Amino acid sequence: MAEKVALVTGGARGIGRGCVLELAKRGFDIVIVDLLRPEMERTAGEVTALGRQVMIEEADVAEHARAKEIAAAVRVRFGRLDVLVNNAGRGNPTGILEITEEAYDRTIAVNLKSCFNYIQAFAPMMLEGGGGRIVSMSSLNAHTGGVTSAVSKFSYAAAKAGIIGMTRALAKELGPTIAVNAVCPGVIETEIGNSLTKARGPELAKKISLNRLGTPADVAQLVAFLATAEPFFITGQAISLDGFQWEI
């Protein structure tokens, strides 16, 4: 039986990798769920180097049945889950007049339905183990409709806003045994966001009070706090992490 176990969806790279490594440093054995096997294996090697056990599961997080399969595998391997980080996501900058139904559905499925999939699959195990923490990755987009005035991401914003509503409802339903929170990052320097941050990074930084863009490590520190802090009196919250981006 593992002492503490955390699962991170989309944990192979970017913000997810940052969360994986920070939780491993804090003593968690790790389950990484992602579609990117080479990146998963590389991140898994980093976890092993930190002296923690790691399990990797290649999966499309939008698939409900696959989440159940992974829960069964985690039960066999570790016997418990203490922290669930719903980090997997994808963007879609297509506007309302151009986006296809299929593209809209996929954006909602990967960003929002995936949270439902993994919470429903793992909440029973967490309750049996005496409780735990769920942290889901929302976005500044949920509040603004886009982190910059040049980018309107209505389908992405809709999904990320849905995560906030789900978080608040589940904090009521699963409390006091499981604390459920959401994190709302602003502009973060990741592989996915490189085209935006490389082209407009200095310009965007001028509109952030801390005068820099965020990093995966910034997000990981907050996620790790929500996963480990004791005593704990934070649940049902959507916590902004944007360096105070005062202009979009």
Distance, CA of 62 to CA of 10 (rounded, Å): 12
Q: Of the listed 108, 156, 171, 216, which one is catalytic?
A: 156
* Burial (CB count within 10 angstroms: exposed 0-12, middle 13-18, buried 19+), residue 116: middle
Please state, in angstroms and as integers, the Cα–Cα distance from residue 151 to each residue in 57, 98, 164, 204, 243, following that order.
33, 14, 21, 13, 19
Distance, CA of 23 to CA of 8 (rounded, Å): 10
Active site residue 104: no
Please state, in angstroms and as integers, the Cα–Cα distance from residue 144 to each residue in 163, 193, 229, following that order.
15, 18, 29
At 205, give phi and psi (nearest 5°). -60, -30
Nearest partner of 53 among 11, 16, 12, 2, judged by Cα = 2
Point out the residues that are catalytic.
156
